[in-house]
Amino acid sequence: MGLDIGTTSVKAAVFGENAEPVSFCSRAIPISGSRPGCAEQDAESVFDALLGAMGEAAARCGRDIGSVSLSVQGDAVMPLGRDMRPLAPMQLGMDYRSAGQARLFADEFGARALFERTGMAPHPMNALCKIRWMTESNPRVAAKTHRYMTYADYALYRLGADEPAIDYGMASRTMGMRLAARDWDDELLAAAGISRAQLSRPIKAGSPVGRLRRDICDALSISPSALLAAGAHDQSAAAAGAGIAPGMALDSHGSAEAISAVLAGPKLDGRMFGAGFPCYFHADAERYFTFSLNHAAGLLLKWFAEELCGAPAPPAQAAAQPLSRPMPQSVPQPSQPARGGGGSPDYARIVAGLSADPSPLLALPYFNGRGTPANDLSMRGMIAGLTLSSTRSDIARAILESLAFDMRVNIGAMREAGIPIDRLRCAGGGARGEFSPQLKADICRVPVETLKVGEAACLGAAMLAGVAAGVYSSPSEAACLAKPGRTYEPRGAVREHYEKRFRQYAALCDASADILRSL
């Protein structure tokens, strides 16, 4: 069984040893924010939703499940007391209240030096910057904090791990790990106001950490002998589940959109640092990993559907609960999964109404700041060229085209950093149907492949579960299970049009940046 704890949904999928899908369930989870820059989740509600998804996926095959692992959203972190209950909500990666702490780290250690040391440049997304914000902004809670945990080690611990453990990939994403040593950096931890005793032990992804809790197995009808294995960051797990090798990249389209690449060794030079591309451990701990990031892909489509088209927001299965409630003593029983694709709009419905022709409008998709390679959190979005005859279809297509233009910028930056990309594989909501893969092939000028198993992160997590169980010797061996579906080649008929539009897109970014930042 592969579990995926994303930003807007949790998923559970069961696979056979040859990666044949057996069952799947997805549940929506909410995001809350009391003010701009704040993005939080109630981790206990998310865990309850995860158990519900597990129970639904295991309903007809639970006794055959031999091992469980997980894929988790990156950079979220929270404090826990000695009773291992949360003292505050999980602060998500998109929560940027720690921008000041990121600047402090840069001033004290040097941004470039930190990147060469940890593989992560100082950024409010990084968990260590968030932890420093927590210790400095609320010392009373910090004094009560026994552990700081991400979803990776929190979920493992709640599922039954023998001790708090975190995989190398998630640990190295925090900016608190010295990459060369594969261990916590005590000097950086001290600057954040914590010690290594407050963090989980780093281990290889796919390492056994115990067995699934007996009460969970009994409640969800899962085999009581099921192993529990350390998982991986969702982008890395998805790349493993998609079979990404050097020379290829994964386009992972979820709440955000990432172009992910596997590296044979650490890549910590000035071009990587300048573009904001991280370097951390892959799900296969003998390799390294990097990705570009657009902060609002699925979130932008959700905004379009709900704010401009009046679509109702899908109900969240896991409603936020007060953090004062007691730790559950029993496991919630499975019920019907929430509809709505984890909080995302109905992507197929948006695409179905689009014109076959390129949009007459031009959009900048930076509704949540601009990600790599510009790394400009103060950038804003734009829809340009509007007239009284503009339609929602024109706007929707312009948004989708803008996301592909941003992909092309990032692919170019990766190539300039010495990362060859001559083929894309697609996973996530944007891989459904024919429209998006063909659009990306046309704009990015590379072949784009879909996958036979679209839930690549769940499959990657299941591969790690298989490694722990001894079914596969390593994540690299399991990678052959990932099979491409259909290939979309760039079409010459629309190439010239998109070449012209891409130049206009780049010029619009340059010409409007100062005004948009000032807004």
Evaluate whether 255 touches 295 at the Cβ level (below 8 Å): no
Average pLDDT, the chain: 91
Span 499-505, mean pLDDT?
Answer: 96
- Rounded average pLDDT over 328-344: 38
pLDDT the model gives residue 337: 32
Nearest to 405 by CA among 354, 370, 375, 432: 370
Percentage of the chain modeled with pLDDT above 90: 78
Q: Which residue's structure tokens are 């769940």?
A: 458
Cis before 437? omega within 30: no
pLDDT over 90 (residue 431): no
Does position 319 have pLDDT exceeding 70, yes or no? no
Residue 317's pLDDT is what? Answer: 42
pLDDT band of residue 328 (cuts 50, 70, 90) is very low
Give the mean model confidence (pLDDT) for residues 324-341: 36
**How far is the C-alpha of 344 from the C-alpha of 297, rounded, in Å?**
10
The topology (CATH level 3) of 1-230 is Nucleotidyltransferase; domain 5 (3.30.420)
Is pLDDT at 336 greater than 60 in this prediction?
Answer: no
Residue 339 banded pLDDT, cuts 50, 70, 90: very low
Cα–Cα distance, 379 to 316 (Å, whole number): 30
Of 23-37, 63-77, 118-132, the poorest mean pLDDT is in 23-37
Quickly state the pLDDT bin for 313 (edges 50, 70, 90).
low
Give Cα 454 distance to the centre of its chain.
15
Mean pLDDT for 81-87 is 97
Q: How far apart are CA 380 and CA 31, in angstroms?
A: 21
- Return the amino acid letter for 419: I
Task: Provide the pLDDT for residue 355.
Answer: 77
Residue 366 has pLDDT above 80, yes or no: yes
Q: What is the pLDDT of residue 52?
A: 97
Rounded Cα gap, residues 169 and 152, in angstroms: 10
Q: Yes or no: say if 248 and 466 are a contact pair by the CB < 8 Å rule.
A: no
* Percent with pLDDT over 70 in the chain: 92
pLDDT bracket for residue 423 (50, 70, 90): very high
Backbone φ/ψ region at 247: left (φ over 0), alpha (ψ -120 to 50), beta: left
List the single range of 182-191, 246-255, 264-273 with lowest mean pLDDT: 246-255
Q: What angle do CA 293, 296, 297 make, to 5 degrees?
A: 90
Closest CA to 229 of 240, 219, 244, 221: 240
Residue 323: pLDDT over 50: no
Query: Which pLDDT does position 343 carry in this prediction?
Result: 40
Q: Which two tokens stand for residue 115?
A: 């990147």
Reported as a pLDDT band with limits 50, 70 and 90, residue 350 is confident
User: Looking at residue 346, what is its pLDDT?
Assistant: 58
Asked, colleague to colleague, whether 1-230 and 244-312+344-519 share their fold, the answer is yes
Lowest mean pLDDT among 2-6, 148-152, 472-476: 472-476
**pLDDT, tens only, 180-235:** 999 999 999 999 999 999 999 999 999 999 999 999 999 999 999 999 999 999 99
Say if residue 35's pLDDT is above 70.
yes
* Residues 41-75: tens digit of each pLDDT: 999 999 999 999 999 999 989 999 999 999 999 99
User: For the residues 94-102, what does the mean pLDDT come to?
Assistant: 94
* Mean of pLDDT values over 264-283: 96
Provide the residue ranges of all domains of the chain, joining segments of one domain with +: 1-230, 244-312+344-519
3-state helix, strand, coil in the chain (%, to 5): 40, 20, 40
* CATH topology (fold) of 244-312+344-519: Nucleotidyltransferase; domain 5 (3.30.420)
Question: How confident is the model over 310-322, as a mean pLDDT?
Answer: 50
- pLDDT confidence of residue 48: 97
Indicate whether 345 pLDDT > 50: no
Question: In this model, does residue 429 exceed pLDDT 80?
Answer: no
